[in-house]
A and B are shown apart, each in its own frame.
Chain A
């Protein structure tokens, strides 16, 4: 195979680039598109109680693998307490213990969460046994069985059964049997308990899930009861008020079952308050945190570990290879002519500050003015280095002049001209004037506008938000760019401009044949 070595090298580089990129996206959750931030919730439970001058144990149910979230961090703030967490069935309980507590005591549990669409795991634990049919009182029994019979007739499985039951139970104009069963004055938990009581009549296992709504910023909040029924495979959640399936969006399932939220031995007046705060956090920060949780060093040794100022520099530097790629494409594949190989890339970098249209205008103005002055200098017969130094001085003065004039005219864009690479500009003007003298204005203008065109395309590519993001967060993708440029180095086909350039040769040869 032609260029076997080169192609192998390019393949090798590409494989490394793609493998690293894959690892980062799949394992560490680094997004492939720029998302500046993700929602992060901090939920906090505050337990208050009065000490009774003796040893006390405080058991607090805390979230265990809450669906829809991944836990980033957990804190148990409790100076002087012994601490243990235990799994109890589907729940997790933290136990604080201390001796000789007196006065009001406060304990905090804090959890930091982020939304994680992958975390919609099924809730299967624990596998319940089928409840016995409760001993209903007489009027109750008739109502329950009438209701259950009519619900059963209109449902196909456990899920639709539960849904239909909840719908009827909450009907604003209830049927007679529901009226008997419904106690309007009962609180939400009691309502759910009543529904469980009815469901037991159909021997359907159910439990109360206690969820914390996270919407907005919550203070002095409390848990909302939710209904879960077991369909033989997993627990299905229902809104006990409407019968809608699933947990509410932005709600954290704190625990499930009949156990108390807080259980205190040796103390009084326990109360639990919840608060939640939503903040935005940098996606990359989250990925780093996740990487730390799974002990991956990939992000630890990435550009993200550098100081912010250095990071910002690299954000720009890492797009330069893309600019170089544009130069390769436009010169070797299209056939544009430019002054200096990478001069257009530097101009494109300057365009970052001026923006495209103004950049092109300022560049053209500057080069045109510079050329006029350069033609005048030609008459003075200066030696090369002093002439270049004079041109540099003149270019800087021109830049200052353009800035001042455009500022006075109220065109603030003109100020950004200060960021043009003046040395490159001076050299460009010098070379352009030589080409102008020797090969005529046509060649000079062609190369001049060629440079501008390459700079413009380079700018568009280099400042594309996706390109900037990918180059910075996945610098390994630059190996792909490298692989491509290596391959381009052995491209020996025609350039697009040659299809035009050789038309005369082609015609002449065809005619001759």
Chain B
């Protein structure tokens, strides 16, 4: 009887410390950016619609990046019409591993990563083997627009498969960790790394169980990770510490992110970078509507940072200066 009573009381105390709903005023004080505010006050104002196709079409992004000297995974080939599926062999050449994805894919869907091949058998990174006909069916699905924004006919991109840098090996399960940086008016304002777990099935998607760990802009070192809405210190699969990992080439990475603004002309931009073991930071894709999870991963709200940058009258024209500004304003140091 008394133990039940105590149980209720402690549960009540827990509920009071962590109520299921927060007051809007609390969220505002903490500087948390909501979906409506992001859409209404930032995306709709700083992202001109005519620039969207540049980021929504990964092929265009790639070409643009290539011209601007921004490193991206090497393009092996593009399949635009059903007929060209036959040319797959020519495109693949000797490459043993590669990635197939839709040019206008939405939310990371429709990406197939092949880690090796044996004749007509292809080995997916998850370990599942797919036959050549299954691969061709996948490509035609991509072409028909199954995974694409608006379901319109699409192109299939076949590109270099990133070999993840060893730095995150201890804290990621399969997959490729990627580093998302929010760049507002060309200034990096927040960054996080998304670490795949067994639960997320090797995908770097927080929603599906990947770990998000904030990165200190000043130093490039990770802070606490967040997994399914709660802060954690160590990786749930390996038990290794998530905190305090130094991201290599950090300055370079931030500069890539800052330069992406000049490239895309999008004022509110999410830049996804992967660290390749051989080629260093490669821009994987841009996002004109980056999500709000970065707030949880960094344990800070975006509002105050956005407002600070919004108030700046003259944004430096050089990317390096913008990176320095971002680090000075939002870096925590130490």
**Binary per-residue interface labels of chain B (106-139) against chain A in the complex, 1 for a CB within 8 Å, 0 otherwise:** 0101000000000000000000000001100100
> Chain B contacts of A493 at CB under 8 A?
24, 34, 36-37
B141 sits at the interface (CB 8 A): yes
A499 touches B140 (CB 8 A): no
Identify the stretch in A50-58, A198-206, A250-258, A503-511 within 8 Å (CB) of chain B at 4 or more residues. Answer: A503-511
Besides A443-B207, A495-B34, A498-B35, 18 other A-B contacts (C-beta < 8 A): A332-B36, A383-B144, A434-B146, A492-B37, A493-B37, A495-B35, A498-B34, A499-B21, A502-B32, A502-B296, A503-B18, A503-B19, A504-B230, A504-B296, A505-B299, A507-B18, A509-B31, A509-B300
Q: Which residue of B lies closest to A504 (CB)?
A: B229
Residues from chain B with Cβ under 8 Å of A512 in the complex:
299-300
Residue in contact with A510 in the complex, picked from B30, B147, B295, B296, CB distance below 8 Å: B30
Complex CA gap A381/B130 in Å reads: 13
Q: Are the CB atoms of A492 and B30 closer together than 8 Å?
A: no
Q: Mark each residue of chain A from 391 to 430: 1 if its CB lies under 8 Å from any CB of chain B, else 0.
A: 0000000000000000000000000000000000000000
- Which residue on B lies nearest to A489, using beta carbons? B40
Complex interface bits, A322-342 against B, C-beta within 8 A gives 1, otherwise 0: 000000000010010000000
Which residues from 267 to 304 on chain B have a C-beta closer than 8 Å to any C-beta of chain A?
295-296, 299-301
A-side contacts of B230, CB under 8 Å: 504
- Indicate the size class of the contact surface on chain B: 35 or more
Tell me the bound Cα distance from A37 to B173 in angstroms.
73
Query: Distance (Å) between the CB of B180 and the closest chain A CB?
Result: 16
CB <8 Å contact, A491 and B32: no
Q: B19, B30, B36, B144: which contacts A385 (Cβ < 8 A)? A: B144
- Nearest A-chain residue to B146, judged by Cβ: A384
A500–B24 Cα distance when bound, in Å, is: 10
Residue A438 interfacial (CB < 8 Å): yes
Give bound CA distance, A492 to B18, whole Å.
Answer: 25
Do the beta carbons of A494 and B36 come within 8 Å of each other? yes
Q: A499-B22, A502-B27 are in contact. Are A508 and B144 (CB under 8 A)?
A: no
A491 and B40 form a contact (CB under 8 A): yes
A490 at the interface (CB under 8 A from B): yes
* Total contacting residues, chain A, CB less than 8 A: 32
A320 to chain B, nearest CB (A): 23
Q: Is A285 interfacial (CB 8 A cutoff)? A: no
Instruction: Check if A439 is an interface residue, CB within 8 A of chain B.
Output: yes
A residues sitting closer than 8 Å to B (CB atoms) are 332, 335, 381, 383-385, 434, 438-440, 443, 489-495, 498-500, 502-512
B22–A434 CB distance below 8 A: no
* CB neighbours of B296 from chain A (8 A): 502, 504-505, 508
Query: Which residues of B lie under 8 Å from residue A506 when comparing CB positions?
Result: 22, 26-27, 30, 32
B141 with A490: CB separation less than 8 A: no
Nearest 4 A/B pairs, CB to CB: A384-B144, A504-B229, A492-B37, A492-B40
Contact status A438-B36, CB under 8 Å: no
A425→B151 CA distance, assembly (Å): 16
Inter-chain CA distance A511–B224, complex, in Å, is 12
User: Shortest CB–CB separation between residue A163 and chain B, in angstroms?
Assistant: 66
Selected contact of B27 from candidates A434, A439, A498, A511, CB within 8 Å: A498
Bound Cα distance A499, B25 (Å):
10
Tell which of B20, B145, B147, B299 has the most Cβ of chain A within 10 Å. B299
Whether A500 contacts B146 by the Cβ 8 Å rule is no
User: Per a CB cutoff under 8 Å, which of A383, A438, A507 touches B109?
Assistant: A438
